[in-house]
Chains A and B, each alone.
Chain A
Amino acid sequence: TPNVRVVSTWDFGIAANQAAWAILGKGGHALDAVETGVQVPESDLKNHSVGKGGYPDRDGRVTLDASIMDADGNCGAVAALEYIEHPISVARRVMERTPHVLLVGDGALQFALEQGFRKENLLTPEAEKAWHEWQKTAHYQPSIN
Chain B
Amino acid sequence: ANNHDTIGMLAIDAHGRLAGACTTSGMAWKLHGRVGDSPIIGAGLYVDGEVGGATSTGVGEEVIRNAGSFLVVELMRQGRSPHEACKEAVMRIVKKRPEASKTLQVGFLAMNRDGEVGAYAIQHGFSYAVCDAKKQDTLIPSPSVY
Contact = CB atoms under 8 A, between A and B. Distances in A.
A14 B19 contact: no
A112 to B, nearest CB: 14
Interface in B127-143: 127-133, 136-139
Contacts of A63: 25-26, 32-33
Nearest to A140: B29
Contacts of B22: 38, 66-68
Nearest to A105: B33
Give the most central of A51, A68, A72: most B CB within 10 Å: A68
B19 A9 contact: no
Nearest to A75: B41
Interface string A40-68: 01100001111100111111011111111
Q: How large is the interface on A (under 10, 10 to 19, 20 to 34, 35 or more residues)?
A: 35 or more
B81 interface: no
Nearest to B50: A71
A132 B29 CA distance: 11
Contacts of B28: 48-49, 55-56, 130, 134, 142
Majority SS of interface residues in chain A?
Answer: mixed
A99 to B, nearest CB: 15
Given A37-B21, A48-B25, A145 B105 contact: yes
Interface residues of B, number: 74
Contacts of B14: 1, 4, 24, 27
A1 B9 CA distance: 20
Majority SS of interface residues in chain B?
Answer: loop
Contacts of B131: 5-7, 14, 17-18, 20-21
A34 B3 CA distance: 22
Contacts of A4: 12-14, 115, 132-133
B9 A70 contact: no
A69 B133 contact: no
Contacts of B125: 144-145
B11 A6 contact: yes
A60 B105 CA distance: 24
A77 interface: yes
B57 A10 contact: yes
B81 to A, nearest CB: 14
Interface of B: 1-36, 38-41, 44-49, 53, 55, 57-59, 103-105, 107, 109, 111, 114-115, 117, 123, 125-133, 136-139
Given A7-B10, A30-B19, A91-B23, 5 more contacts: A5-B11, A13-B7, A13-B9, A37-B11, A38-B23
